[in-house]
A and B are shown apart, each in its own frame.
Chain A
Amino acid sequence: MKAGPLYQRDREWHPPALTPDYKTSVSRSPQYSMISLESSVSEITGPVFGHNDIDPLDKDLLSNYAKSGESPIGERIILHGRVLDENAKPVPNTLVEIWQANAGGRYRHKKDTYLAPIDPNFGGCGRTLSDENGYYHFRTVKPGAYPWRNWVNNWRPAHIHMSIFGTAFAQRLITQCYFEGDPLIDKCPIVKSIPDPQAIEQLIARLDLNATIPLDTIAYKFDIVVRGRRSTLFENRPEGN
């Protein structure tokens, strides 16, 4: 069986474009309805990456910007999981990219003027390819919460931004990974742009003691699901589906 078109994206599961409590969405959300397209070859194909594109060290944020012999300050964590599709099939060799603030909630970005200091040994971005079973892992520090100008006193929960490719351009996804037990999750207008509480749960990484390295690094598990594709059950249809 060949893989066919993608399952439709469940737009009630994802956040809608207009979520007024997240103020920036008000002027950046389209007013007209999207036009639905059936998958063509333009949508079911997407960029292919290989081991030549990235450095194996890119996935280690504890060392990829640290001076020799030094280390960033913060809680040392492993972030790991699998990239699967909606059929629970592993997605191998797909590019996963992350970026985040340092332990104090400060980004290494010229637009970030928060008074928490930059960490001289922490860059805050990483990337890796999932292995043949769809597994990926990063080593980093747990990011801190930070304030942002939305309401007068809004604080983002600790989070790591994640970008995933899958195998099709229509699977392209950016999301944010939160951490189990963070009391800011329930208060964040960006989190609450997602209407379904079950969908929010899917963005919360679980503490994973089994993957923790004793006396060294604590671990969180975060699985990522990209859109699945129909199997071609009826080959005689002209579209192949």
Chain B
Amino acid sequence: MRQELNYLKETPSQTAGPYVHIGLAPGAAGFDIYQQELGWDIAGPNAKGERIRVEGCVIDGMGSPIKDVLLEAWQANANGIYAHPEHEGEVEEGFRGWGRVITDFDTGEWGFDTVKPGPVKTPDGKVMAPHISLWIVARGINVGLQTRLYFEDETEANAADAVLNLVEWERRRQTLIARKSERDGKPVYRFDIKLQGQDETVFFDI
């Protein structure tokens, strides 16, 4: 008899379903239960760097915006440091680097305010272009989808980014790049996520 490996199996994923908001963002869904809602402030008041807004829609295979999505963001601070003990360096007091938003029930638009992350230095000395990791769950999505948002105005860094360069089809790399505009003097990055079909967003198995 061969020996057993004795690893546990990861708990299988299931869809977040249509009512994910009551569990993970009750306040945003108009349900007042917790003293403190988590994830509405990614960067905190003390974060240095450029204040930006990120917004978009998640679009299904029919071209319609999905109105029951929950998105989470994970990013480094303006110096490229994650608020986590395994990444060396300091972050500002109150900088968590994690956020959670839901789409508007009527329009499907989502958005969050944060600071633009800096390029991330990996422990082996490589540099990744500034990016925000995104995780998308909703009814009809069996396993949360992982993608990355890069910034249009980081042309040089994006061209050298190892992850973007893993995407063999140059045309598909564009689906990971948020488009910059300005509103009331503040930079706004538009990032529409297409789940399926033409110009489908690149998703990662990480």
Contacts and interface: CB of A to CB of B under 8 A. Distances in A.
Contact of B8 (A43, A95, A193, A225): A225
A134 interface: no
A28 B33 contact: no
B14 A109 contact: no
A42 B142 contact: no
Query: Chain B binding site: helix, strand, loop or mixed by DSSP?
Result: loop
Interface in A17-39: 17, 19, 22, 24-32, 34-37, 39
Contacts, number: 263
Interface residues of B, number: 79
Contact of A161 (B8, B23, B203): B23
A22 B142 contact: yes
A65 B9 CA distance: 35
A169 B140 contact: no
A127 B12 CA distance: 20
A37 B205 contact: yes
B172 to A, nearest CB: 8
Interface centre among B18, B142, B205 (most CB of A within 10 A): B142
A173 B202 contact: no
B123 A240 contact: yes
Query: Chain A binding site: helix, strand, loop or mixed by DSSP?
Result: loop
Contacts of B139: 24, 28
B26 interface: yes
Contact of A10 (B10, B20, B72, B202): B10
A10 B143 CA distance: 12
A54 B12 CA distance: 26
A238 B125 CA distance: 9
Interface residues of A, number: 91
B131 A175 contact: no
A109 B87 contact: no
Contacts of B96: 47-48
B14 A203 contact: yes
A49 B38 contact: yes
Contact of A41 (B21, B34, B62, B120): B120
A119 to B, nearest CB: 13
B103 to A, nearest CB: 13
A110 B120 CA distance: 41
B7 A87 contact: yes
B204 A37 contact: yes
